[in-house]
Amino acid sequence: MDPAAEMARVQDFLGLKKVITEKYFYFNVTKGFPCLMKSEGHSTPHCLGKTKGRNHPSIEPFAIQRLRNFYRPFNEKFYRMTGINFGWL
């Protein structure tokens, strides 16, 4: 995942000037994921907490399918509203 690219997409979608760019992110090798600089040139980054990047519990396939079926109409409506397919179906 490239957080700067995703932020560019969000800013484009919202019609905003691109303010948050790649210079606001750095990859924290210790944590294993990108962190956000609080402001350009600021030395203290903001990294997500201990639960970020943890292993997720396994979920039975029938439970996943049941959730997909339940949320399908809501996701389809959201996709139509945004014009973006987020691949959640």
Residue 56 in marked binding region: yes
Does the annotation place 54 within a ligand binding site?
Answer: yes
Please report, to the nearest 10 degrees, the dihedral formed by the alpha carbons of residues 62, 68, 71, 74 taken in order. Answer: -160
How many angstroms separate the CA atoms of 63 and 49, rounded? 28
The closest alpha carbon to 40, from 22, 16, 52, belongs to: 22
55 known member of a binding site: yes
Residue 8 in contact with residue 15, Cβ under 8 Å? no
Known binding residues for 3'-phosphoadenylyl sulfate: 52-56
Known binding residues: 52-56
